[in-house]
Structure 1
Amino acid sequence: MSLQRCQTEWEEIDQEYQQLQETHKVYRQKLDELTNLQATCSSAISKQRKGLKDLRYSLRKCTKTSDEKEMELIKDIQMQIKDKEHFFFDMEAYLPKKNGLYLNLVLGNVNVTLLSNQAKFAYKDEYEKFKLCMTIILMFAAITCLFLLNYRVTDEIFNFLLVWYYCTLTIRESILMSNGSRIKGWWVSHHYVSTFLSGVMLTWPEGSMYQMFRSQFLAFSIYQSFVQFLQYYYQSGCLYRLRALGERNQLDLTVEGFQSWMWRGLTFLLPFLFFGHFWQLYNAMTLFRLAGHKDCKEWQVRTEILQSYLCKIPCFQIEYSTTCLYIHPCLITRLLSTQSLATSS
């Protein structure tokens, strides 16, 4: 390569560098403008919230001395206030906000807000893929521990995987909630409890008590992974269709409400869900029985029992009640559609 050609290339690179500097300067200016706009919007939302809070308090006072016509006006204003609060929630999904206590402890004061819809959906999609992959890995790991490798080391690896998996889920779900995902609080709390209980299983020493519960725990882990696999495909299919119809947010993780076309997949899934709920209750009863055993000396058993009564049984009740509350409108809708078909025929 001749020197003249090298000089020409250098001049082209230098010219592109000058353009890059100008572009970067514009980018920095726009970034400053964006930061100022974010601060302005956050301040305006806080001001609006304070004003609405004061207005709600004033309306409560007015209800005591209002006639029927005025009560209708008050109810109308209260409904509009609720709508505005929903809009504020959607707005804040695109604004930087302070992390909760858990994210602050894990990540520090780092801004985890994703600004574009594409970035939010990509993160949520990656979360779903992570859950699916880990569900399959944990299912095969539990099968290996139960049927092939009856060693304490392999059990510890499996339990460590569970601790890491649930810890990672809680972090990712907290980030999704910071970005506007409407995840139920009990769902995230269930994962916190699962993290702690997996840690207790990890520290449970080898012994007769551990061996008595080991097979039941591994069998439950296999079944739970299998049900989660089925549930993933049912919910992802429903959410995909609802998003296509514009009836769900891109960051929603679970399906709420019911439409008639969901019934076919739900009837297949329900027996597995109910069986899993009662198996969870059976695990709590087994641990309670082990605590009364004459050879029981491990604190892990008593800790698992305490957590069962404080968390596992309430989780069973919440999950069971949530499933029943979900299928109740399903059954009503199904019965009404059957009656209408019978009437028309």
Structure 2
Amino acid sequence: MDVDECLKEWEDLVADYKRLETLNKDYVAKLEEVGELQASCLKELNHQRYRMSIINSALKRMEKKGTTKDERLANLEKEVMKRKAMLHEIEATLPKQNGLYLRIILGNVNVSILNKNDKFKYKDEYEKFKLILSAIAFVLAVANLFIDFRPLQLILIFLLVWYYCTLTIRESILKVNGSRIKGWWRLHHFISTVVAGILLVWPQNEPWNLFRHTFMWFIAYISVVQYMQFRYQSGVLYRLKALGARHNMDITIEGFHSWMWRGLSYLLPFLFGGYVFQLYIAYTLYQISDHPEATWQVAALSFSFLLIGIGNTATTLIVIPQKLNEQVSYLAVLFLILHCCNTYTILRTLRKKMQGERKLIYKLRAIAHRLAVLDQKWRQNKVEAKTS
């Protein structure tokens, strides 16, 4: 390419740049226009809700006064309900303010995803993130069962801290964009973040060595259960979304929900097994808290696991009776009763085993202490005999 060809190419490039500059100006103008339209829509949306609140208040006052409900009132109530649903759909297309947690972490950065395809992509990335991290945690937990290497243990615990911190942020962004995760299952991840942080600062001492294998087995078990939940819930959500029975931004989460009932027979025992495991860990840590070298982390973790176990069990047991009243046969009731009996038997057996192990450990320590005292006295007597 000679000088003349380079100059010609540059002239063509200048013409292309002018087109780019024009397109960019149009793009900036459209962005400003979109911002103004969003502000106008939000203003009108708030106006609609304000006027509807006045109408609802008037309807409630008439109901308290005992006004007979004629056809006009019934139609008006139906129209109000329809309008609420329509306003909710309109609101989903507009940017929302961040919640308190996101404002603390990210500030007032707008995290609303207005493009529907981008929303689905972000949700799918969230699901894949949980699945991949569960697989990595399983591998690390199994490795720690066979290798007593402190850096490897810290890698797993730091991974849990990062995982739960990231999970809470991603779930908050999904909630801003229409996902309906709420209640205990969201709080559960915040508590898990605290638990992982306490584990990270727990020093390597005798109580940690007593608890380490139990914790690694728990992480391995929970990772497998989370994979099973992901496979099951993603399939159920896909079918329900196709039928229009669930929201497109609903996600797979820990625990049991009313929409999960069909085909749950194989998953429910594993969920309750995980909850029993959490309560067992709380009891184990409570026993370890009596150890002379136990630090504050032991008691804090015992309370945290107890809270998580009770919260998971109670939330699941609240949902199940609602579904039992709807469509479940007597076999499901019998299954739940048998599971509760099995859980009680397992807890009693584990308690007896733990008590026996603790007594044996303390007896061995007492014998070791006495032997050390006798050895010290024998050495002192030997030194005194030599000096005399």
Query: Fold conserved (TM > 0.5)?
Result: yes
- Paired position in structure 2 for 1:218: 216
- Say if 1:279 and 1:20 are closer, same or farther in 2 by CA, change over 3 A: same
- Contact map agreement 2:236 2:260 (CA 8 A) in 1: no
Q: How far apart are the structure 2 equivalents of 1:12 and 1:170?
A: 51
- Say if 1:273 and 1:74 are closer, same or farther in 2 by CA, change over 3 A: farther
Q: How does 1:88-99 map to 2 (within 5 A)?
A: 88-99=87-98
Q: How far apart are the structure 2 equivalents of 1:29 and 1:251?
A: 31
**Range with bigger deviation, 316-325 or 39-48:** 316-325
RMSD of Structure 2 on Structure 1 (CA): 2.5
Q: How does 1:230-245 map to 2 (within 5 A)?
A: 230-245=228-243
Deviation at 1:79, TM superposition (A): 5.1
Deviation at 1:303, TM superposition (A): 1.2
- Paired position in structure 2 for 1:313: 310
- Paired position in structure 2 for 1:40: 40
Q: What secondary structure is seen at the aligned counterpart in 1 of 2:267?
A: helix
Cα distance per residue 1:122-176 (max 9 Å; x no partner): 10011111111001001111111112x2122221111110010000000000000
- Paired position in structure 2 for 1:188: 186
- Say if 1:233 and 1:329 are closer, same or farther in 2 by CA, change over 3 A: farther
Among 294, 299, 303, the residue aligned to 1:297: 294
Deviation at 1:4, TM superposition (A): 2.3
- Say if 1:30 and 1:307 are closer, same or farther in 2 by CA, change over 3 A: same
**Range with bigger deviation, 272-281 or 250-259:** 250-259
In structure 2, list runs of 5 or more residues that go unmatched.
333-388
Deviation at 1:283, TM superposition (A): 1.8
- Say if 1:98 and 1:272 are closer, same or farther in 2 by CA, change over 3 A: same
- Paired position in structure 2 for 1:158: 156
- Paired position in structure 2 for 1:250: 248
- Contact map agreement 2:207 2:288 (CA 8 A) in 1: yes
Residues 1:5 and 2:5 aligned together = yes
AA partner of residue 12 (structure 2): E
Residues 1:171 and 2:169 aligned together = yes
- Paired position in structure 2 for 1:111: 110
Q: How far apart are the structure 1 equivalents of 2:201 and 2:212?
A: 13
The TM-score normalised by the length of structure 2 is 0.77
Deviation at 1:68, TM superposition (A): 3.9
- Say if 1:213 and 1:95 are closer, same or farther in 2 by CA, change over 3 A: same
Q: How does 1:58-69 map to 2 (within 5 A)?
A: 58-69=58-69
- Contact map agreement 1:93 1:180 (CA 8 A) in 2: yes
Structure exhibiting the larger radius of gyration computed from Cα positions: 2
Cα distance per residue 1:213-256 (max 9 Å; x no partner): 22111111100000000110111111222233333332111495
Deviation at 1:22, TM superposition (A): 1.2
Deviation at 1:56, TM superposition (A): 2.4
What is the identity percentage for the equivalent residue pairs of Structure 1 and Structure 2? Answer: 40
Q: What secondary structure is seen at the aligned counterpart in 2 of 1:206?
A: coil
Deviation at 1:206, TM superposition (A): 1.5
- Contact map agreement 2:138 2:223 (CA 8 A) in 1: yes
The TM-score normalised by the length of structure 1 is 0.87
Q: How far apart are the structure 2 equivalents of 1:68 and 1:281?
A: 54
AA partner of residue 298 (structure 1): T
- Say if 1:162 and 1:5 are closer, same or farther in 2 by CA, change over 3 A: same
AA partner of residue 243 (structure 2): L
Q: How far apart are the structure 2 equivalents of 1:271 and 1:140?
A: 23
AA partner of residue 180 (structure 1): G
- Say if 1:61 and 1:135 are closer, same or farther in 2 by CA, change over 3 A: same
AA partner of residue 153 (structure 1): P
Q: How does 1:65-144 map to 2 (within 5 A)?
A: 65-70=65-70, 77-78=76-77, 80-144=79-143
Cα distance per residue 1:261-319 (max 9 Å; x no partner): x42xx22222211211222222222222323x242531011212333454442233224
**Range with bigger deviation, 175-184 or 323-332:** 323-332
Count of matched residue positions in the alignment of Structure 1 and Structure 2: 329
AA partner of residue 240 (structure 1): Y
